[in-house]
Amino acid sequence: MDQQQIRHIFTSKGLKVTPQRVLVYKILRSSHEHPTADFIIDEIRKEHPSIAKGTVYNILDTFIEKGLVSLVQTEKDRMRYDAFLEEHHHLFDLDSEKISDYYDDKLSGIIKEYFSNNTIPGFDIKNVKLQISGKYTKQRTNQ
């Protein structure tokens, strides 16, 4: 994703384009590992050692508020960030604690159909994402 695309995304969400925001967003978009805030901070500090943790956390909170990223919670309640907002689910590997995106249009369709016919009393559903926990039985070749 180039600088012009990021600029367009930010301005369409009413955000000022700052070097810190661009850097955090680039790290999020380049990682399919659903990074933690600590990982993002470590990556930034490789080139910008003086950036404050609070700055990164504020940027992440702003991105969530503006709908640029979503939170993914792991089995051990660690929060991770997902900048890929296309409809997908997650596979959580219990051994490595890695989260992988899982795209399945049929599964998504079944979930949508189910909740269009079945409501939860007193609850307005905005989005449903499954997190499927398990262990890989063989090396994955695609992601």
Q: Which residues of the chain have pLDDT under 50?
A: 143
Q: Is 51 in contact with 41 (CB distance < 8 Å)? A: yes
How far apart are the C-alpha atoms of 41 and 131, rounded to whole Å? 25
The predicted structure's pLDDT at residue 96:
84
- Note the pTM of the prediction, 2 decimals: 0.76
Q: Encode pLDDT of 88-112 as tens digits.
A: 898 988 888 888 889 999 999 999 9
43-55 core/surface letters (b: 16 or more CB in 10 A; e: else): bbeeeeeebeeeb
What DSSP designation does 134 have?
A: E
